[in-house]
Structure 1
């Protein structure tokens, strides 16, 4: 019997990142090989706990710069736009 699915785009499908991102993806290997927590110690003195705006997580910022240089992207804005939907970051 032939069934035709209607409104598939409205379905909710639960998946984990490990199901979506291939195990051998380069960025996944980088994330497994490097513990980026050391960046918090290096940048702590540049952030205030009592004043200023909420900050961007320094690890996220570092990863964006890494992606920018790795992919040869010219600007941070373009890097953010191109990597907005990448699950492997």
Structure 2
């Protein structure tokens, strides 16, 4: 699957990591609902690091559609309230 980190680029990531991303996504929704900004920042870093560490960057001149789009690393807590509403970024 192709995962985009906004402002950073795209990565090819094995679909076996989808469950881990979804677990982090759900925890992000919970952290935001609990107004826990520190936990939110930690979880966002964890999510982005998972993609960076296990994904392979897509070449800048290769154009492929993203399956998942993640927010940039500098996403504020207020911005996250809108992004992670409901089910979060990853359905399921």
State the TM-score bracket (shorter-chain normalisation): under 0.3
Larger RCO (CA under 8 A, 6+ residues apart): 2
Say which structure is richer in strand.
2
Q: What's the TM-score once normalised by structure 2's chain length? A: 0.25
